[in-house]
Homo-oligomer: A and B are copies of this chain.
Amino acid sequence: MIYVVFAIFLAACFAAGSTGGLFPPGEWYQKLRKPWWTPPNWLFPVAWTILYLCMAAAGARVAMSPGNGLAMALWALQIALNGLWTPVFFGLRRMKLGLRVLGLLWLSVAATLVALWQVDMIAGVLFVPYLVWVSVAAALNLSVLRLNRTVEH
Contact = CB atoms under 8 A, between A and B. Distances in A.
Nearest to A86: B87
A80 interface: yes
A50 interface: no
- Most B CB within 10 A of own CB, among A9, A82, A87: A87
A73 interface: yes
Give the interface size class of chain A.
35 or more
A11 interface: yes
B91 A12 contact: no
Nearest to A74: B8
A76 B4 contact: no
Interface of A: 1-2, 4-5, 8-9, 11-13, 15-16, 18-19, 22-23, 59-60, 63-64, 66, 68-70, 72-77, 79-84, 87-88, 91-92, 104
